[in-house]
Amino acid sequence: MCGIFACHSHPDVAKFKPTALKLSKQIRHRGPDWCGSVISNNTILCHERLSIVGVGGSRSVYLVSRPSSNLKAESGAQPLTNADDSIILAVNGEIYNHRLIRKTLKTPYHFKTTSDCEVVIPLYLEYGIDAPKHLDGMFSFVLYDKKKDRTIAARDPIGITTLYQGWSSKEPGTVYFASELKSLHPVCDKIEAFPPGHIFDSLTGERTRYFEPTWWDGEKIPQTPVDLKKLRETLEKSVRKRLMAEVPYGVLLSGGLDSSLVASIAQRETLRLKKLAEETNSAAEEKPEDLDKGEGLVGIDDENKLSTMTFLPQLNSFSIGLPGSPDNEAALKVAKFLGTKHHVMTFTIEDGLNALSDVIYHLETYDVTTIRASTPMYLLSRKIKAMGIKMVLSGEGSDEIFGGYLYFHGAPNKEEFHTECVRRVKNLHLADCLRANKSTSAWGLEARVPFLDKEFLEVSMNIDPADKMISKERMEKYILRKAFDTSDDPTAEPYLPDNILWRQKEQFSDGVGYGWIDALKDNAELHVTDEMMKNPKPEWGSDIPDTKEAYWYRLMFDEHFPQSCASTVMRWTPTWSKQTDPSGSGLIHAANDVRLPPHGLPQNGSAESCRRLIGFDRAAFPKLAFAPSPATTRLGTTLAHRQLLTFGLLSKDFYHLSSGSLEVKDTTPNRVAFKVTGKSSHDAATSGAIEAKYSDKSTGVTVTQTWNTANALESKVELADTLAKGLKAEGIFSFLPASQAKGVKANLQFKQSNFHGRAFVDLLKGPTTSIDALIGHEGFLAGGSAAFDVQKAKITNYSLAVGYHAPTYNAAVTATDNLSVFSASYYHKVNKLVEAGSKATWNSKTGNTVGLEVAAKYRIDPVSFVKAKINDRGVAAVAYNVLLRDGVKLGLGASFDTQKLDQATHKVGTSLTFEN
């Protein structure tokens, strides 16, 4: 991939040039090989080049065809110009049919370079704004016609390459173009993603769609039965085109169906060309070549065969995943079967988390699915480029074309199935194409996607969707698998092993290792509080993140880009599914309301929900509100959560407190959340409760109804951000029929940056009032609380607390019960696996004895952990928590009085949680 930046009709282009060069430099990672710029009239075009074709200098010794008679012409440095320099062109992409275009031009044209992109100039001279219709490839380009003072810009049919268009209110007549947002937002206050398959003409100021395939209307349902042979041969031809290169190349191999098929076809073609090269070299005979006719250049020839190209002695394939990931294991099997030189990269969760901000900077999105999948691809691309590889083939697009995502199980009929396929293909430029392009371009690597070939789309998108649909007899992408299944022909060489050809779909972010998604969710819990979720930034408008992970990514996006860039982002969400989490393996199908087989591995969900790990230390901070606003959090960490981690270590997950507990959670389609809990204590008493909760985000109203086995009823109504921003009002009503006892409480909470205040009023007791307040600044916390009896006009209780947090440790000191009980707590995150904490308490009223408790936690793997604690009285406890499968958690715990080991004072407990 290359990078382009252009500005049409700037009022002072000479003065603007230094700025233009700086903006172009912002995308130099896309084209590290060379850069160039041209000014003509009031227009400037800048180009950052990644050389793949028309590299320049002498040809590689691995070339099948022979040296050109004009070595000078082999440079493809841009911007490109015609003979009299009246046409200036900057292109990002590859034109696979450039040889055929050179040969079939109506008007002879003398090419200055061997670059495949130069054909855009004569096409423009012959066809004007219809020029892109004749291109077969992936491209974004900006062309300036000096004689007409005209700029045209175009993007390939599907949007495999990235392109953005911007405007500035300071220069109303100026139009900007760039490959990435980071080159535009410093000078533009309005930016749009340039739509695929369109061309812009400065003479009219309009964009028009030039790409008009027969399948574009998603409401028109195809009736053509599948032709398996045609499907296979068209994909083979597509892969063959994309092997056009003069530099080392490879294939991204996840071990899934799509990348494995691409790798298989590429390996066949590589071996064929290697054999052809050996035969050609043994009978070397130089022939005159006409470069203007495309002779001797890399690319497809008249018979649609790749007769000239560079090749490596062995095809390189690449995969990435966490240790033991499904993708790496499957990719190794495929590579061994095909005979490719395979490179496995493993990454740690910490590697991925450390790269997140950079990934979001390069991707220019906050979409959850894109970021999850892009991070491993971003890490892998760096390693590939370091090996000297400059181009890779990838398998994007197949799932959109054939309905391969697991949520397609829920398609109610073939009409909706096809409409969804068309919609997904049309939006690829905002999802998988964006991911593949920017993840690789971040390191100067080019990704090519054979499934999105125009001809292949014309064949595959016009297949009767009834042949694509998933059923009990047919798994996803059945016809694609069947097209490459040669088991019924003993003489045919198999493309793939059966266990790969018929391997079930894994979304890339799942296949690299299920612990990756768990880690992202868990870390999002550390960075985003429940209060932040209720108080999103006003400038976000209606585009509100619906999960903490999405909120976290949006915060990182905002650190890099202004609000004007957010309109270019699209969120990837499944259709026909109740689940908001886009991860493929966890999707629930509306059609049959069942989960897909888990393949015997842990699925999505967290090994332990962080909001349970991180509790409010009520003993240390009674009635103090430690829930910071987004502004407080952006100081670097969530003050409240970081400060109170000690409580999570000392009090959470020790199930011996109950002999057994059960918790079941579910959410109905209309967003009513149900929770049923049951608990059996060691004295044989059993208790239970059921809770129903409904939230309307549009009005800020939340209604909660609770009933327990003591026959107590409680209703709570919350009103958030309606009366005033940051203000939440609550009304709580309770009733105990057995004693006719009633309760009515009114609460107010007010949150602003670095400040949080609350007031609680019990209307039927006294009435009594309690208030608390908290301030935070640069890691320091200070707060106080007081209770007041209205009838007695007396303060009945007051407390104070101070605390400090750092990235890896937190400390707090409190004085409670009218400043008579003092406690100090400390938390330390030793490393990513080990946490430790302690707490000391002294009651000045009861004597000089100081109570001490210490605890530690060790994470065994992404789905399980163990905790232990002991106090100064010799009571020790241990706990174990494991995620059995998605939504099912088991906890085991025990406590022992080490001073009374011969007595029946010890306890054992269990906990089982089901959550949907």
Residue type, 331: A
Q: Are 261 and 317 in contact (CB under 8 A)?
A: no
Q: Give the angle subtended at the CA of 576 by the CAs of 674 and 468, to the nearest 5°.
A: 150
366 strand-pairing partners: none
Work out the percent of the chain whose per-residue pLDDT is above 70: 83
Q: Are 7 and 43 in contact (CB under 8 A)?
A: yes
Rounded to whole angstroms, the Cα distance separating 604 from 868 reads: 27
Alpha helices in 625-687 (DSSP H): 630-633, 639-643, 645-651
- pLDDT score, position 360: 97
Asked whether residue 508 carries a pLDDT value surpassing 60, the answer given is: no
- Residues 6 or more apart whose CB falls under 8 angstroms from that of 84 comprise none
- Residues 319-350 have pLDDT tens digits of 998 888 878 888 999 999 999 999 999 999 99
- pLDDT score, position 272: 87
For 849, counting Cβ atoms within 10 Å of its Cβ (0-12 exposed, 13-18 middle, 19+ buried), the class is exposed
- pLDDT score, position 19: 97
Burial code (b: 16+ CB inside 10 Å, e: under 16) for 651-688 equals bbbbbbbbbbbbbbeebeeeeeeebebbbbeeeeeeee
Strands 206-209 and 686-696, sheet pairing: unpaired
Q: What is the arithmetic mean of pLDDT over 63-81?
A: 53
- pLDDT score, position 739: 72
Give the chain's mean pLDDT: 83
Token pair recorded at residue 441? 């371009």
Residue type, 612: R
Among 883, 894, 879, 835, which residue's Cα sits nearest to residue 861? 883
Asked whether residue 621 carries a pLDDT value surpassing 60, the answer given is: no
Q: Which tops the pLDDT comparison, 119 or 282?
A: 119
- pLDDT score, position 14: 95
Query: Which residues are marked as active site?
Result: 2
Q: Which helix (H) or strand (E) holds 689?
A: strand 686-696
pTM, rounded to two decimals: 0.65
Tokens 């104070």 sit on residue = 800
Q: What share of the chain is helix, strand, coil (3-state, %, to 5)?
A: 30, 30, 40
- pLDDT score, position 362: 97
Rounded to whole angstroms, the Cα distance separating 322 from 352 reads: 10
- Residues 6 or more apart whose CB falls under 8 angstroms from that of 180 comprise 3, 26, 27, 30, 162, 164, 364, 438
Rounded to whole angstroms, the Cα distance separating 90 from 110 reads: 18
Strands 686-696 and 701-708, sheet pairing: antiparallel
Q: Are 911 and 663 in contact (CB under 8 A)?
A: yes
For 439, counting Cβ atoms within 10 Å of its Cβ (0-12 exposed, 13-18 middle, 19+ buried), the class is buried
Strands, DSSP E only, in 697-767? Answer: 701-708, 713-720, 727-736, 741-752, 755-762
- pLDDT score, position 313: 63
Q: Are 86 and 154 in contact (CB under 8 A)?
A: no
Rounded to whole angstroms, the Cα distance separating 153 from 913 reads: 56
Q: Which helix (H) or strand (E) holds 229?
A: helix 228-241
- Residues 6 or more apart whose CB falls under 8 angstroms from that of 450 comprise 235, 238, 239, 241, 242, 262, 265, 393, 395, 456
Q: Are 814 and 801 in contact (CB under 8 A)?
A: yes
Alpha helices in 707-752 (DSSP H): none
Rounded to whole angstroms, the Cα distance separating 505 from 327 reads: 11
Rounded to whole angstroms, the Cα distance separating 424 from 476 reads: 16
Q: Hey, which of 127-131, 319-323, 717-721 has the most confident mean pLDDT?
A: 127-131
Tokens 């049309």 sit on residue = 426
- Residues 51-68 have pLDDT tens digits of 767 665 332 223 333 333
- pLDDT score, position 129: 96
Asked whether residue 492 carries a pLDDT value surpassing 80, the answer given is: yes
Length of the chain: 916
- pLDDT score, position 683: 59
- Residues 637-692 have pLDDT tens digits of 333 344 445 656 676 777 776 777 788 888 776 778 888 888 876 655 678 889 89
Other C-beta atoms closer than 10 Å to the C-beta of 637 total 19
Tokens 């793997």 sit on residue = 861
- Residues 6 or more apart whose CB falls under 8 angstroms from that of 405 comprise 399, 476, 505, 507, 574, 584, 587
- Residues 821-872 have pLDDT tens digits of 888 988 888 887 888 999 888 888 776 678 898 999 998 977 888 999 998 8
Q: Give the angle subtended at the CA of 433 by the CAs of 36 and 424, to the nearest 5°.
A: 145
Tokens 């760096």 sit on residue = 382
Chain CA centroid to CA 223, Å: 36
Rounded to whole angstroms, the Cα distance separating 715 from 700 reads: 17
Other C-beta atoms closer than 10 Å to the C-beta of 514 total 28
Strands 834-843 and 206-209, sheet pairing: unpaired
Asked whether residue 587 carries a pLDDT value surpassing 80, the answer given is: no
Other C-beta atoms closer than 10 Å to the C-beta of 699 total 11
Rounded to whole angstroms, the Cα distance separating 689 from 675 reads: 8
- Residues 248-294 have pLDDT tens digits of 899 999 989 999 999 999 999 988 888 877 776 655 455 556 667 66
**pLDDT band, very low/low/confident/very high, at 488 (cuts 50, 70, 90):** confident
Asked whether residue 370 carries a pLDDT value surpassing 90, the answer given is: yes
Q: Hey, which of 152-161, 588-597, 716-725, 757-766 has the most confident mean pLDDT?
A: 152-161
- Residues 6 or more apart whose CB falls under 8 angstroms from that of 759 comprise 747, 748, 769, 770, 771
Q: Which tops the pLDDT comparison, 102 or 883?
A: 102
**Using only C-alpha atoms, what is the Rg of the chain?**
32
- Residues 147-206 have pLDDT tens digits of 999 999 999 999 999 999 999 999 999 999 999 999 999 999 999 999 999 999 999 999
- pLDDT score, position 649: 67
